[in-house]
Amino acid sequence: MKGWMGKFKFVFLLSFLAIILAGCGRENLTALVPKGYGAESSMNLIVLSTVIMTFVFIVVLSVYLIAIVRFRKKKGQENYIPKQVEGSKKLETIWTVIPIILVLILAVPTVAATFDLADESGKSDHINVDVTGNQYWWHFSYADEEVQTSQDLYIPTGEKVYLNMKSSDVIHSLWVPSISGKMDVNPENENTMYIEANEEGVYWGKCAELCGPSHSLMDFKVIAVSPEEYEQWVADMQSVDPEEKPQDAVAQDGKAAMEANNCLNCHAIGSSPNAVGPNLTNFGDRTKIAGYLETNKQNLVDWLLDPESIKPGNLMTGKYPELSEEEADSIAEYLLQLKPSEITPESAGN
């Protein structure tokens, strides 16, 4: 028995070490390093509840260990019959009242934070973004600014941004752990939440409600830049001319190929509200292709040639005739040149 226990302890030690090594997870993804108002609000409650609960756990574990060690049947006691205690009013009252107090300590700030995060009183004074969840991508429409974009959401730091969210198909849930907790994106009603980033950065966003085979690949980014940079980005996006001809010949072929294959029936370049597929206005600055692949030409060509292998169940598959390598290459070239603004994910630092 002793030898066994030794090995178990070793395994436990190893796993604890691993947790410490892994730390709190990747910065700008983990909820454990909050960088936004909502995430901080959640974190405060997470810490408070963890402290309370750890206290409870230590009490339980101490009583438990002492009981096992002290009252284990000893040699020569085989026929010992312990006193049959019915209960104790005093003790039972204690362990009823103390948990009530502990729960109250947690309940009060919970209620306060719940109302705080649901506050919509200043909504019209702030930036409003209409968010649409789609299988498996996100669309962001800046209603007042008449700017459309997909997958990368640009926001200014230190300011509340209200997200008015609705789904075009099944339920999704928008989650940017480092900035804010999640809220569902339903097909029948608009849900509103606000996010506020404290510092510049590119934050990972995830879909947190099962929405089909590629649920796990529905990543997006929130790019928090300084308010000035944000203003400039908006201005740059507003001034995009979708008809503008690209400089080099390959890209011109690409633009023609996109028109020939009816890509623009679903996708828009510029401020057109058409969002059957993701808006491509600043595609060249996108952090990722298809939500999770590194932005480079090879990945984009692969994606255009066989979307199904990259994002199972996506709705682009089969919507256009099979592309030749050459066509895909030229389209990729054109798309990667769509960089209307100097404000890019790089502007946000990391």
Q: Beta-strand (E) ranges in 83-217?
A: 127-134, 137-142, 147-150, 152-156, 161-167, 172-176, 180-185, 191-195, 201-207
State in angstroms the smallest separation of the CB of 181 from other proteins: 2
Q: Does 318 bind other proteins (CB under 8 A)?
A: no
CA distances (Å), origin 169, targets 258, 327, 342:
26, 31, 34
Out of 36, 133, 181, 340, the only residue in the binding site for other proteins (CB under 8 A) is 181
Out of 3, 6, 68, 75, the only residue in the binding site for other proteins (CB under 8 A) is 68
Backbone angles phi, psi at 162, to 5 degrees: -90, 125
Measure the CA–CA gap between 133 and 183, rounded to whole angstroms. Answer: 12
State in angstroms the smallest separation of the CB of 262 from other proteins: 25
Taking alpha carbons only, the member of 293, 340, 343, 335 closest to residue 314 is 293
3-class secondary structure, 61: helix
Q: Angle CA(190)–CA(191)–CA(193) in degrees, nearest 5?
A: 140
Burial class (CB in 10 A: 0-12, 13-18, 19+), 145: middle
Q: What part of residues 210-249 is at the interface with other proteins (CB under 8 A)? A: 210-217, 219
State in angstroms the smallest separation of the CB of 310 from other proteins: 11
Backbone angles phi, psi at 22, to 5 degrees: -70, -20
Do β-strands 161-167 and 127-134 pair in parallel, antiparallel, or remain unpaired?
A: parallel
**Within 10 A of 73 (CB to CB), how many other CB atoms are there?**
9
Q: What part of residues 115-174 is at the interface with other proteins (CB under 8 A)? A: 115, 117-118, 169-171, 173
Q: 265: which residues sit within 8 A by CB, 6+ positions away? A: 276
State in angstroms the smallest separation of the CB of 161 from other proteins: 16
Out of 123, 158, 159, 184, the only residue in the binding site for other proteins (CB under 8 A) is 184
Q: Does 75 bind other proteins (CB under 8 A)?
A: no
Out of 15, 121, 124, 247, the only residue in the binding site for other proteins (CB under 8 A) is 15
Nearer residue to other proteins within complex by CB, 205 or 340:
205
Q: Does 13 bind other proteins (CB under 8 A)?
A: no
Out of 63, 143, 235, 249, the only residue in the binding site for other proteins (CB under 8 A) is 63
Nearer residue to other proteins within complex by CB, 43 or 256:
43
Which stretch, 29-37, 154-162, 228-236, 242-250, contacts other proteins (CB under 8 A)?
A: 29-37
Which stretch, 93-101, 147-155, 233-241, 248-256, contacts other proteins (CB under 8 A)?
A: 93-101
State in angstroms the smallest separation of the CB of 307 from other proteins: 13
Measure the CA–CA gap between 273 and 280, rounded to whole angstroms. Answer: 12
Nearer residue to other proteins within complex by CB, 158 or 212:
212
State in angstroms the smallest separation of the CB of 291 from other proteins: 10
